Amino acid sequence: MVGSLMAAWPVQGQTGWRKGPWTPEEDKLLIEYVNLHGEGRWSSVSRCAGLNRSGKSCRLRWVNYLRPGLKRGQITPQEEGIIIELHAIWGNKWSTIARYLPGRTDNEIKNYWRTHFKKKERTRKASEKRKSQTLKPKPLVQPQLQPQPKDEPLLHTQELISGSRNEPNNKIAPSTNNIEEQNLMAMIMASSSSSS
């Protein structure tokens, strides 16, 4: 099974495929071949046309540069509006967007988006971030509980109310064995006595 699949794929020799910019002669060979035989079977196009290019390279050259009916030059403001509107609907589905712009390729639209709109979007987001940081009110500083030394016992709530450890107070304070609740209660009592 593997042997039969291997025979179907074209195998290049030691030299490999030609890479780099296309020459005018290669463009002419590709145009003539596609005009005679039509588009499709791009792996055989490179072999039959006498090109030492991969099928993918031939297809991309035809679709993005040599195909008749391609528009050249700047994207018009009307086309730009269509790109923005369709990108909001479909996101980065460039070939779907290209169907609504006859003569423009998905690659051209993608490149236009990335060079024009992505930069604008980044600068817009950066300026919004700067504005939000300058207009943002500073957060209120929350009072922090001061940790008590481990060798001193926690003050009981009654002692805090009376202000002395030795003076008993007749006020009734809630009794609890939970240290965190005692610390919270102590902080509330301390803040209420300092505010009055």
- Residue tagged 């490179």 (tokens): 46
Ordered by where they begin, the domains of the chain are 17-66 (1.10.10.60), 77-133 (1.10.10.60), 157-195 (no CATH)
Chain centroid to CA 181: 46
Nearest partner of 64 among 76, 55, 74, 72, judged by Cα:
72
pTM exceeds 0.75 for this model? no
pLDDT in tens, the chain (196 residues): 444 444 444 444 445 788 888 899 988 988 888 888 888 788 888 788 888 888 888 888 888 888 888 888 888 999 999 999 999 999 999 999 999 999 999 889 999 999 887 777 777 777 777 777 776 666 666 656 666 555 555 555 455 455 555 555 544 555 445 676 677 667 666 765 655 5
